[in-house]
A = this chain, B = another copy of it.
Amino acid sequence: KQIILLPGDGIGKEIMESAKYVLNTVASEFGHRFTFHSHAIGGDAIDQYGTPLPDDTINACEQADAILLGAVGGKKWEALPGNIRPEQGLLGIRKKLGLFANLRPIQGFAPLLHASPLKEEVVNGSDILIIRELTGGLYFGKPSERIKDGKAVVDTLYYERSEMERIVEKAFESARLRRKHLTSVDKANVLESSRLWREVVNEKSKEYPDVTVEHMLVDAAAMKLITAPTQFDVIVTENLFGDILSDEASVLTGSLGMLPSASIRSDGVGLYEPVHGSAPDIAGKGIANPLGMILSAALMLRHSLQMEEEANEIEEAVRACLEQGYHTADLSVKNGKQVGTKEMTEAVVENIT
């Protein structure tokens, strides 16, 4: 299986090494063969090639079975103009490959829950899957430009009905595999696009009578994620609402550094990356938390390579490490043992073999 690695910026390189090591361990245990090829993206690509998304990287990704991405961005490139910023690499690869479904599972880890900003009785037991549309909406609609001699500006929220249908379908399928509850988030009291979204959800729901559907306004959802996170199962929403809500949700369990994400399309090709950023302040120090990246590799095995058992093996190994008290500097575990990136990765590998 061809896996493209895009380590990117900051701690991206270090945590990518961890993912590779874990994947190789799984491969030898289960008798698979993965081939890895690294390519440049983000600030790293700007430094080397003057563009955040070189053609060579796009071509490689187009041939791949799956892609692992570390992180992009950093202060160093912040002053650059909009079109050669590191994030453009990420937006570009999502769009070029048509990775329309962003999956963000958010689940607490018992030994880490004490670090949540929420009271334990509020957050305990929450297990949410946010499904965000990733290649449409305000992110890519045209026009997106200054008008009237720079005296005004316009961005465009554009969706095709078919784009809504495929993500909503993905959400129903996912809900069916979980607790069969789907919350569709929109702003139907204001936006025409949200009213179409709601129609599409209602229409599709007829094909999934076993899934309970609830419509929620985005402002209400932003509240309820905090007051009653356990009441959500699967959430589906458009690109920008998904960006905001999934980041909001990512801090609920007190372990942002643990969270993986998947960006996939219908044929199963996908890009997998941790939710956390490139953390330039700690890059190269060997203290970054590799678990979000490692859990992203597990998601890759599950969603792109149909290796459910192997994915579970990694996820269980990560849980076991935390229960054994291992944690990196960004986390805290009661009576735990603080370790660096390499030791943490070793601990995961130990728990696999």
Determine how close the nearest CB of chain B comes to the CB of A228; give it in whole angstroms.
8
Binary per-residue interface labels of chain A (187-230) against chain B in the complex, 1 for a CB within 8 Å, 0 otherwise: 10111110110000000000000000000001110110111000
Q: Name A154-174 residues within 8 Å CB distance of B.
A: 154-162
Residue of B87, B117, B153, B159 near A158 (CB, 8 A) is: B153
Number of interface residues of A (CB under 8 A): 57
User: A139 to chain B: which residues have CB within 8 Å?
Assistant: 190
User: A144 to chain B: which residues have CB within 8 Å?
Assistant: 191-192
Task: Judge if A152 is at the interface, Cβ distance under 8 Å.
Answer: yes
User: A251 to chain B: which residues have CB within 8 Å?
Assistant: 223, 226-227
Task: Judge if A146 is at the interface, Cβ distance under 8 Å.
Answer: yes
Q: Name A219-252 residues within 8 Å CB distance of B.
A: 219-220, 222-223, 225-227, 240-241, 243-248, 250-252
Task: Judge if A56 is at the interface, Cβ distance under 8 Å.
Answer: no
User: A225 to chain B: which residues have CB within 8 Å?
Assistant: 248
A118 (CB) vs chain B CBs: closest residue? B117
Residue of B154, B160, B248, B256 near A248 (CB, 8 A) is: B248
Task: Judge if A138 is at the interface, Cβ distance under 8 Å.
Answer: yes
User: A240 to chain B: which residues have CB within 8 Å?
Assistant: 187
Q: How far is the CA of A250 from the CA of B218 in the complex (A)?
A: 14
Q: How far is the CA of A243 from the CA of B245 in the complex (A)?
A: 13
Residue of B85, B152, B153 near A189 (CB, 8 A) is: B85
Task: Judge if A119 is at the interface, Cβ distance under 8 Å.
Answer: yes
Q: Do the beta carbons of B150 and A161 come within 8 Å of each other?
A: yes
Q: How far is the CA of A196 from the CA of B154 in the complex (A)?
A: 10
Q: How far is the CA of A312 from the CA of B159 in the complex (A)?
A: 49
Q: Do the beta carbons of A138 and B157 come within 8 Å of each other?
A: yes
Residue of B122, B161, B187 near A117 (CB, 8 A) is: B122
Q: Name A115-156 residues within 8 Å CB distance of B.
A: 116-119, 122, 138-139, 141, 144-146, 148, 150-156
Q: Do the beta carbons of A247 and B227 come within 8 Å of each other?
A: no
Q: How far is the CA of A190 from the CA of B91 in the complex (A)?
A: 9
Task: Judge if A82 is at the interface, Cβ distance under 8 Å.
Answer: yes
Q: Do the beta carbons of A156 and B156 come within 8 Å of each other?
A: yes
Q: Name A68-115 residues within 8 Å CB distance of B.
A: 82, 85, 87, 91
Q: Do the beta carbons of B146 and A153 come within 8 Å of each other?
A: no
Extra contacts, 16 of them, besides A152-B158, A222-B247, A226-B252 (Cβ < 8 A), are: A117-B227, A118-B226, A139-B190, A153-B192, A154-B156, A154-B193, A155-B156, A155-B157, A155-B193, A218-B244, A220-B247, A222-B222, A222-B245, A223-B256, A225-B248, A226-B248
Q: Which 3 A-B pairs have the closest CB atoms?
A: A219-B247, A222-B248, A155-B157
